[in-house]
Chains A and B, each alone.
Chain A
Amino acid sequence: MASSEHFKRNPEVSWRTIEGQSVLVFNREGEVQVLNEVGTYVWEHIGESIEIMAREIASEYDVSEEEALRDVEAFLEELKGSGAILLAEE
């Protein structure tokens, strides 16, 4: 799993956070996705260290750092799969 530092947001995705939830619009397809609070936190910190993200999430929610790290990694894979994020060197 690549660290979040290796990813960047896809510029073809427009987004805006409203009341703690990010709304993502995939411009080409016109598809729209709403992220929950944790997803929004990760999305807003794309490009930063996933270890720090996991630590922040663990301190905010009732999960261990290890569990948070696994969740962040899985979510990044999901974002990568949907095309919302790209490898930074792309």
Chain B
Amino acid sequence: MDRFPNIAHFEDLPRPMGPGGISLSIADLCVRFDGLDPKLLESARGRYAPFLSDQRPQHTVTLYPGSAAYLDPAADGYFRALERPLGGARLYLSTDFAALWAEGTEAGILRVSSPEDGEATLRAMENYLRWVTAGLALRREAFVLHAAGLVREGKAYVFFGPSGAGKSTVAALSQGCGLLSDDLVLLLRREGRWMAAATPFKGALSQSAKKAGVFPLEGLYRLVQAPRHALKVLPSAQGLATLLASCPFVTDPATRHDRLMPLAADCCRLAGVQELEFAKDSGFWESIAGEKRDG
């Protein structure tokens, strides 16, 4: 049976897990993790090397030991998480962590079920980072998208779609391109232009292959696997719908409506959304180049 913590679980806190801290930057968003023990700090430094930062964090989360378990595991073995309001804050929990973030504040609490398990704690940190990045982004004219982001000749090409659509395949087939991510890409509106940024989230490809930075957004492509390559411009409403369907972590209706919708609509309007039918070879780049040539 699922065990939902109450607000006291985040008020009567034990000592943090350790004295260490690490700051990670995703474009101009910076999140700091405090309360790390030395071993965990070393592991986190290794995993997130391209994203280590000394910027002033916009959000700091502290790690504490938690309860034995929160949610029951999913029957299919997949990651299971829930988000809901709790005492004026947002609660995010999974089988082995519970997190609380009061929106509008710069601090969060992450309680981990198995602090002695370094891998489980790193997973909890990463899931927390995904969640809080999505929230912080929306307050700064940005949003996260389930996508593979690739840099070619200094421009970002973003391929999005649900699990199994082919994001990692597209990334793996793009030799010579810089990798922003094969899982989640941050899209930002800066000075009237849309940009794409690398994220530290673990996908199928190696973290060390990533090209940290921010690049002008050249195109948004909804992935559809097919026997041959083809590009099709999607009408505005369909383009927005497909983009929204690939935006994770926004379960609060007011936030989705007030912040995400206008941003995503503007991104679609300026960058356009195309459907890319692709076969499992790198020939799709020729379709994209051909479309750019033909204008």
Q: Identify the A interface with B (CB < 8 A).
A: 11-16, 18-19, 21-23, 25, 27-28, 30-34
Contact = CB atoms under 8 A, between A and B. Distances in A.
Contacts of B253: 11-14, 27
A16 B235 CA distance: 14
B105 interface: no
B237 interface: yes
Contact of B237 (A12, A19, A30): A19
A32 B245 contact: yes
A62 to B, nearest CB: 23
Contact of B240 (A11, A23, A27): A23
Contact of A33 (B241, B256, B257, B261): B241
A30 B265 contact: no
A32 B235 contact: no
B227 to A, nearest CB: 26
A10 to B, nearest CB: 9
Interface size class of B (residues with CB under 8 A): 20 to 34
Interface of B: 235-238, 240-242, 244-245, 248, 250-253, 256-257, 260-262, 265
B265 A18 contact: yes
Given A13-B253, A19-B237, A25-B244, 18 more contacts: A15-B257, A16-B261, A16-B262, A19-B235, A19-B236, A21-B235, A21-B236, A21-B237, A22-B237, A23-B240, A23-B241, A27-B252, A27-B253, A27-B256, A31-B245, A33-B241, A34-B237, A34-B241
B265 A16 contact: yes
B80 to A, nearest CB: 15
9 contacts: A13-B253, A14-B253, A14-B256, A15-B257, A18-B240, A19-B237, A22-B237, A23-B241, A25-B244
A16 to B, nearest CB: 5
Given A14-B261, A16-B261, A25 B256 contact: yes
B185 to A, nearest CB: 18
A72 B203 CA distance: 46
Contacts of A16: 240, 257, 261-262, 265
Given A12-B253, A14-B257, A16-B265, A23 B235 contact: no
A27 B251 contact: yes
Given A16-B265, A28-B251, A23 B237 contact: yes
A15 B257 CA distance: 7
A18 B240 CA distance: 9
Contacts of B262: 16
B28 to A, nearest CB: 26
Contacts of A34: 237-238, 241
A27 B249 CA distance: 10
Contacts of B260: 14
